[in-house]
Amino acid sequence: MNIIETHNIRKNFGTKIALDGVSIHIPQNEICGFLGPNGAGKTTLMRILTRILQPDDGSILFNNRIFCDKDIVYIGYLPEERGLYSSMKIAEQLIFLARLKGLSLSEAKRRTFLWLEKFGLDNRARHTVGSLSKGLQQKIQFIGAIICSPQLLILDEPFSGLDPISTTFMREEIVTLQKQGTTVLLSTHDLNEASALCSNIIFINDARVRWQGELSDIRKQYSSSHYRFTTEQAITLREEPDMFSVIETSGQEHIVKKNDTKTVSELLSFLSRKYPLSRFEEKETSLQEIFTKIVMERLENGGTFHE
């Protein structure tokens, strides 16, 4: 079941087309990566999904029914830009955000101090938001997004401004929330993070969805036909144009690109006859490689790359 579906969403800002018939589906209890260049339409769609903006056309379903204003209490949102009041004390800010989501004052206070303690910020509860570093403000904004225990958590560049330790902590927290039943829509330019966290991917460019589905499926579709193998001894690997081209070679470690006319079995058989192999495996196509291929396909078809 999908927690949210959009159907043919359109949004213009004057003469600029921000979303051009966007239809997506986000499966329940998944971490879904929302990828694309700057200016592709990601933030516009996220603002529509949080009722900050209204679409010009199209429809949205939330939990299989028409999306309406009251559903916003089930959605947490961490925007890319700062959405905090710099002069407010941290605890007051979080209690205020929790109350906006319908929590009682006592429950808002309880959750505020529970999360501040978990993030190691309980000793800063009475500090103003503006006195914090960018990274600590990002943590506060993240707590504000999850304090209502949302069914859907929308994160726009959540790792921005974080040091490596804080990034790891937040990544682990996102996974924990997903395991507890929260669905996550994650927009990030860090494709390594997306690859590590996401089971589903939505790729948007030029105001349209260019690909969506399971990460494993997109990797199959955009397979590079690259294979990594290890030999028992160091060798000098030379190209065999009818069978493979050499991508990387160094001592015992090698990466080759299979000739499109050959099968994997034929490649493995050929290599095994020539060299004693201790390992042979397909080299997984990275999201960076897939991202580049999709954008280049769009450019070749007359599209643009927004950046």
> What does the alpha-carbon distance between residue 207 and residue 91 come to, in Å, rounded to a whole number?
39
pLDDT-above-70 percentage for the chain? 96
Average pLDDT over residues 6-33: 96
Task: Check pLDDT > 50 for residue 162.
Answer: yes
Query: What's the confidence (pLDDT) of residue 307?
Result: 47
For 2-220, the fitting CATH number among 3.40.50.740, 3.40.50.300, 3.40.50.620, 1.20.58.100 is 3.40.50.300
**162 within 8 A of 138, measured Cβ to Cβ:** yes
pLDDT at 296 over 80: no
Distance of alpha carbon 24 from its chain centroid, rounded?
A: 14
DSSP string of 190-256, one letter each residue:
-HHHHHHH-SEEEEEETTEEEEEEEHHHHHHHT---EEEEEESS------BTTTEEEEEEETTEEEE
Please measure the distance between the N-terminal and C-terminal CA atoms of the chain and give it in whole angstroms.
34
User: What is the structure's pLDDT at 225?
Assistant: 83
- Of the pLDDT bands very low, low, confident and very high (cuts 50, 70, 90), residue 301 is low
CA atoms within 13 A on the CB side of 150: 29
| Residue 27 β-bridge partners | 2
Q: How far apart are CA 44 and CA 28, in angstroms?
A: 22
For CA atoms 129, 130, 136, 141, give the dihedral sign.
Answer: positive
Identify the band that residue 302 occupies on the pLDDT scale cut at 50, 70 and 90: low
pLDDT of residue 206: 87
pLDDT at 300: 61
| Tokens encoding 258 | 């299979």
Pick the residue with more confidence: 142 or 83? 142
Give CA–CA dist 147/191, Å, rounded.
27
- Whole-angstrom Cα distance, residue 150 to residue 63? 13
Whole-number average pLDDT of the chain: 91
Residues 6+ apart with CB under 8 A from 7: 23, 58, 59, 60, 61
What would the pLDDT profile of 239-287 be if each residue is shown by its tens digit? 999 999 999 999 999 999 999 898 999 999 999 999 999 999 888 777 8
pLDDT digits (tens, 9 = 90+) for 79-136: 988 778 889 999 999 999 999 999 999 999 999 999 999 999 999 999 999 999 988 9
Rounded to two decimals, what is the model's pTM?
A: 0.80
